[in-house]
């Protein structure tokens, strides 16, 4: 009996861990592309909100109209595209206008929540920002003797994108050029690399991955979402994952898994007896990933491998 | 720097800020027009382009720009209630703006004002509801709680070289969840029985528990009775309290500290260059922590000034959203280029727009359109330097002309 109980808990933990790990990994990979090209992307939270919003609206509008699998593909594409478009605002401000990247990103975070509220309310035609949708096409149930493990399509997509990210960043000319712009843009420019173009690519890829990440956070977990809550700080956690992962794809993957174990405890603590007996409530467990990330950041701060030129607008005259 | 230059620099900043505001409002109007069109298109009645614009203007934009004064201008019975609500938003907004602005002046970006504000609210309510202290002591408690929460990112920056933005974001959430747990979870402490009202799902009103903790309104009851109907008496009633005066006085104190004291100079020096400051014999680690602590204290005090007026109670159940006041503080500070006196005016402006958003006819226009406007304003502020350079061009030209006319003997001093 206790054996099957433990199995059930394990399946439950796996379900949420996989759910969150994919989200954190996708968004952190996005952040990685942006920062390796030299632009700090603190707007990931906002990009996630926009990606999630557009994806949810597309899938809610297509519900009962088209084949659920076609609707799924269209929704994911829409979320990626909207994230990309939204991130171009950051790219424009920080690359063309050489604005302070942190402030620009913060503005986009604030703006995203406001936009999401207005659009969601208009979409509903009411004063509630809660949108209902059907997410069954996204879920894949794997039956075992002890119960079912639910995974979602984003897991597969995430693994593909992880490998793709690695290949692009380390095995292609584009990746090499991108990294050069994040380390020493003046040197890169001197050998004929277009720094602005590379940084644009970095930021736009981060928007693409962030948009999918936001959608992946919202849609598989529940069947409705209130956009008042944005994406509850996942974008910021992804930043910590990226730093803990030292701006490297596979390390980011492991960091994301680690963080999501802590994050998933908040969802399942009441089905684990000894955690339930502690008498702590959901908020306490919600704090956990943030506390863990602070500890991790403190421990890794000494040997940080941050891209050298991140956060500094590129000025040709400085060469 | 001569008077002419100083004046033109000041004017330049103001004009740049106004450009940000005007573009923000214009985008707001476009959104309102679009929403107005959608709502008319959804209805059965035929409509013209004129109807769309008229509805966007009358039910939306006009209310946005008239803010708290809207009922005075547009109602048969002039009501100052909204105006008072708007003014009661000034102290928390101003303090959060000063908090972020002070950090900017010392080279730090305090995105943690929301968390420090949360802790400040907790401190104020803890001392008011549980310990039943009078309001001025509760305000000090709010400051201390905020200061501690601000000092933490400073500490991590000084000793572990972790970017204060990341730490502050983490501690925003830790603070929010922590405070709500303490207020809400009965198993952990006995605080909820004294602070949390299960019926309203908010904290208890100060009026019911400890009316000494309410900051007194600017006009006494006798004055209001004697001058019933006077505009001034209408203005100075609750919730317009001494909080407004305290906030403005603190803005002036900060201006003096930053510009006229050695302490302020040292903090700013650390902002320009930490290594240079260290070389000059300034304890840069201590100063980073101190700057963040002061910044946190200001945000905490803002929460105290707001929650001790008893117009609004803390809702621990809304635990997934950080208080927007802390983020509005960023817009307020940016718009004012972190100048403490400018912050007073930008805080008034943001309070005005926020109140205006609440006056929309909510069926057609969600109040969050006001948030979009302030979001656009921050986005534009991020590259305000660009506007400044454009505006500065005629001034630079005038300066050159003046130098030529006076013989150009001060060539060196013109450069800057």
The tens place of each residue's pLDDT in chain B, 416 residues long, gives 577 777 877 888 888 888 888 999 999 999 999 988 888 887 777 888 888 888 888 888 888 888 777 777 776 555 777 888 888 899 999 999 999 999 999 988 898 999 999 999 999 999 998 888 899 999 999 999 999 999 999 999 999 888 888 889 889 989 998 988 888 777 777 777 788 877 877 888 888 888 888 888 887 777 877 877 777 777 777 788 899 999 999 999 999 999 999 999 999 888 888 888 888 888 889 999 999 999 999 999 999 999 998 888 888 766 567 888 888 898 899 888 889 999 999 999 989 888 888 888 777 888 888 889 988 988 888 877 677 777 777 767 777 777 777 765 544 444 43
Does residue A4 form part of some domain? no
CA distances (Å), origin A205, targets A72, A298, B272:
21, 29, 33
> Which residue in B60, B62, B58, B80 sits closest to B71, CA to CA?
B80
Does residue A317 form part of some domain? no
Query: Contact at 8 Å (CB) between B308 and B97?
Result: no
Q: Is B186 near chain A, with CB under 8 Å? A: no
H helices, E strands: number in chain B:
21, 2
Q: Is B293 exposed, middle or buried (0-12, 13-18, 19+ CB in 10 A)?
A: buried
**Cross-chain Cβ contact B372/A297 below 8 Å:** no
DSSP letter for B241, please. Answer: B
Does residue A1 form part of some domain? no
pLDDT over 90 (residue A142)? no
Helices (H), B56-134: 62-66, 70-74, 81-105, 113-125
Neighbours of A252 (CB within 10 A): 28
**Cross-chain Cβ contact B167/A107 below 8 Å:** no
Which residues share a beta bridge with A139? Answer: A152
> Which residue in B46, B40, B51, B146 sits closest to B96, CA to CA?
B146
Residue of B nearest to A90 (CA): B379
- pLDDT recorded at residue B415: 42
The ipTM estimated for the assembled molecules is 0.84
Nearest-angstrom CA–CA distance, A111 and B375 = 5
**Cross-chain Cβ contact A121/B334 below 8 Å:** no
Average pLDDT, chain A: 87
* Containing structural domain, residue A95: 10-312
> At A79, is the pLDDT very low, low, confident or very high (cuts 50, 70, 90)?
very high
> Which residue in B201, B232, B240, B233 sits closest to B91, CA to CA?
B240
What are the residues whose beta carbons fall under 8 Å from the beta carbon of B217, sequence distance 6 or more? B236, B237, B238, B239, B240, B241, B242
β pairing state of B196-197 and B202-203:
antiparallel
What are the residues whose beta carbons fall under 8 Å from the beta carbon of A223, sequence distance 6 or more? A132, A133, A134, A135
β pairing state of B196-197 and A139-143:
unpaired
Does residue A267 form part of some domain? yes
Nearest-angstrom CA–CA distance, B232 and B219 = 9
Query: Contact at 8 Å (CB) between A219 and A232?
Result: no
Distance from CA of B331 to the nearest CA of A (A): 8
Of A93, A284, A287, the CB nearest to B383: A93
Task: Name the CA dihedral angle for B137, B141, B142, B147, rounded to a multiple of 10 degrees.
Answer: 140
| CATH number of the structural domain spanning residue A24 | 1.10.3470
Most B CBs within 10 Å, among A92, A290, A296, A304, to test the B interface:
A290
Neighbours of B30 (CB within 10 A): 11
Tokens, residue A149: 């493990």
Tokens 């557009």, located at residue: A54
> Which residue in A33, A27, A40, A31 sits closest to A179, CA to CA?
A33
Helix, strand, coil fractions of chain B, as percent rounded to 5:
75, 0, 25
Structural domains of chain B, ranges and CATH numbers in brackets = 16-79+352-387 (no CATH), 80-335 (1.10.3470)
Query: Contact at 8 Å (CB) between B125 and B314?
Result: yes
**Cross-chain Cβ contact B320/A294 below 8 Å:** no
For chain A, what is the radius of gyration of the CA atoms? 20
**Cross-chain Cβ contact A301/B334 below 8 Å:** no
Neighbours of A12 (CB within 10 A): 18
Query: Contact at 8 Å (CB) between A115 and B366?
Result: no
**Cross-chain Cβ contact B334/A103 below 8 Å:** yes
Q: Is B103 helix (H, G, I), strand (E, B) or coil?
A: helix
- pLDDT recorded at residue B414: 42
Query: Contact at 8 Å (CB) between B107 and B187?
Result: no
Of A98, A117, A280, the CB nearest to B366: A117
| Mean pLDDT across A276-297 | 80
**Cross-chain Cβ contact B166/A243 below 8 Å:** yes
Tokens 């004017």, located at residue: B11
Does residue A5 form part of some domain? no
- pLDDT recorded at residue A83: 96
Q: Is B320 near chain A, with CB under 8 Å? A: yes
A101-124 and B369-382 helices cross at what angle (nearest 10)? 160
For chain B, what is the radius of gyration of the CA atoms? 24
Nearest-angstrom CA–CA distance, A79 and A157 = 14
Q: Is B71 near chain A, with CB under 8 Å? A: no
Element (H, E) at B203: strand B202-203
DSSP letter for B196, please. Answer: E
Q: Is B386 near chain A, with CB under 8 Å? A: yes
Between the two ends of chain B, the Cα-to-Cα distance in Å is 10
Which residues share a beta bridge with A131? Answer: A225
- pLDDT recorded at residue B395: 67
- All residues of chain B having their beta carbon less than 8 Å from the beta carbon of residue A294 are 156, 167, 170-171, 174
- pLDDT recorded at residue A279: 66
Domains in chain A: how many in total? 1
**Cross-chain Cβ contact A98/B383 below 8 Å:** yes
Neighbours of B40 (CB within 10 A): 17
Does residue A277 form part of some domain? yes
Residue of B nearest to A238 (CA): B166
β pairing state of A139-143 and A148-152:
antiparallel
Of A97, A110, A240, the CB nearest to B166: A240
Query: Contact at 8 Å (CB) between B354 and B345?
Result: no
Tokens 């980073």, located at residue: B288
Residue of B nearest to A280 (CA): B188
Query: Contact at 8 Å (CB) between A293 and B170?
Result: yes
- pLDDT recorded at residue B143: 96
Query: Contact at 8 Å (CB) between A255 and A245?
Result: yes
Complete DSSP assignment for chain A: -HHHHHHHHHHHHHHHHHHHHHHHHHHHHHHHHHHHTT---TTHHHHHHHHHHHHHHHHHHHTTTS-HHHHHHHHHHHHHHHHHHHHHHHHIIIIIS---HHHHHHHHHHHHHHHHHHHHHHHHTSS--EEE---GGGEEEEE-SS-EEEEEHHHHHHHHHHHHHHHHHHHSHHHHHHHHHHH-HHHHHHTT--HHHHHHHHHHHHHHHHHHHHHHHHTTT-SEEEGGGTTTTHHHHHHHHHHHTTT-HHHHHHHHHHHHHHHHHHHHGGGSHHHHHTT--HHHHHHHHHHHHHHHHHHHGGG----TTTTPPP-GGG-
| Mean pLDDT across A171-183 | 93
- pLDDT recorded at residue B411: 46
């Amino acid at each position: 009996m206790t054996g099957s109980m433990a199995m059930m808990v394990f399946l439950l933990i796996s379900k949420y861990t996989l759910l969150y790990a994919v989200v954190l990994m996708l968004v952190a990979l996005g952040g990685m592309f942006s920062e390796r090209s030299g632009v700090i992307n603190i707007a990931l939270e906002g990009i996630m909100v926009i990606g999630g919003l557009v994806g949810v609206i597309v899938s809610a509008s297509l519900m009962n109209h088209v084949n659920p699998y076609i609707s799924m593909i269209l929704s994911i594409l829409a979320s990626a595209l909207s994230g990309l478009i939204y991130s171009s605002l950051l790219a424009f401000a920080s690359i063309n206008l050489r604005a302070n990247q942190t402030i620009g990103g913060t503005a986009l975070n604030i703006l995203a929540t406001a936009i999401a509220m207005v659009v969601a309310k208009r979409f509903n035609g009411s004063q509630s920002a809660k949108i209902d949708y059907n997410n069954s096409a996204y879920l894949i149930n794997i039956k075992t003797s002890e119960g079912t493990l639910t995974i979602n399509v984003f897991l597969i997509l995430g693994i593909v994108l992880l490998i793709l990210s690695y290949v692009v960043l380390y095995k292609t000319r584009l990746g090499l050029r991108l990294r050069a712009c994040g380390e020493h843009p003046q040197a890169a420019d001197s050998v004929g690399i277009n720094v602005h173009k590379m940084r644009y690519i970095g930021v736009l890829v981060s928007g693409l991955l962030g948009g999918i990440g936001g959608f992946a956070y919202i849609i598989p977990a529940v069947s409705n979402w209130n956009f008042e809550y944005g994406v509850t700080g996942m974008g910021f956690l992804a930043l910590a994952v990226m730093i803990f992962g030292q701006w490297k794809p596979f390390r980011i993957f492991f960091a994301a898994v680690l963080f999501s174990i802590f994050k998933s405890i908040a969802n399942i603590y009441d089905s684990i007896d000894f955690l339930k007996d502690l008498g702590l409530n959901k908020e306490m467990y919600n704090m956990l990933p943030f506390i863990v990330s602070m500890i991790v950041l403190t421990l890794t701060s000494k040997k940080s491998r941050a891209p050298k030129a991140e956060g500094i607008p590129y000025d040709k005259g400085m060469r | 720097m001569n008077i002419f230059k100083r004046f033109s620099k000041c004017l330049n900043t103001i004009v740049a800020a106004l450009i940000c505001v005007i573009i923000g409002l214009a985008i707001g109007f476009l959104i309102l027009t679009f929403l107005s069109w959608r709502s008319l298109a959804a209805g059965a009645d035929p409509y013209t382009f004129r109807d769309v614009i008229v509805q966007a203007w009358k039910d939306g934009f006009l209310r946005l720009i008239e803010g708290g004064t809207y009922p005075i201008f547009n109602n048969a019975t002039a009501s100052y209630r909204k105006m008072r609500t708007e003014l009661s938003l000034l102290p928390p907004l101003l303090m959060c703006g000063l908090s972020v602005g002070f950090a900017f002046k010392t080279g730090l970006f305090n995105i943690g004002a929301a968390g420090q504000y949360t802790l400040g609210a907790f401190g104020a309510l803890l001392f008011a509801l549980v310990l039943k202290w009078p309001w001025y002591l509760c305000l000090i408690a709010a400051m201390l709680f905020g200061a501690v929460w601000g000092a933490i990112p400073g500490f991590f920056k000084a000793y572990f070289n972790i970017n204060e933005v990341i730490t502050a974001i983490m501690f925003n959430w830790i603070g929010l969840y922590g405070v709500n747990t303490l207020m809400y979870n009965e198993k952990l402490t006995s605080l909820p029985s004294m602070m949390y009202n299960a019926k309203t799902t908010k904290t208890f009103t100060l009026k019911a528990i400890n009316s000494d903790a309410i900051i007194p309104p600017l006009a006494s009851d006798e004055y209001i009775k004697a001058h019933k109907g006077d505009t001034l008496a209408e203005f100075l009633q609750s919730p317009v309290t001494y909080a407004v005066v305290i906030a403005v006085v603190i803005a002036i104190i900060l201006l003096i500290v930053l510009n006229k004291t050695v302490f302020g100079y040292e903090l700013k020096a650390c902002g320009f260059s930490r290594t240079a400051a260290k070389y000059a014999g300034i304890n840069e680690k201590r100063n980073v922590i101190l700057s963040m602590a002061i910044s946190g204290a200001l945000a905490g005090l803002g929460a105290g000034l707001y929650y001790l007026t008893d117009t609004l109670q803390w809702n621990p159940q809304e635990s997934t959203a950080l208080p927007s006041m802390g983020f509005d503080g960023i817009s307020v500070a940016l718009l004012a280029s972190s100048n403490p006196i400018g912050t007073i005016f930008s805080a008034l402006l943001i309070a005005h727009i926020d109140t205006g958003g609440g006056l929309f006819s909510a069926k057609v226009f969600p109040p969050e359109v006001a948030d979009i406007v302030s979001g656009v304003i921050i986005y534009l502020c991020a590259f305000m330097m660009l506007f400044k350079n454009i505006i500065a061009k005629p001034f630079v030209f005038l300066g050159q002309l003046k130098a030529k006319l006076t013989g150009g003997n001060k060539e060196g001093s013109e450069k800057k």
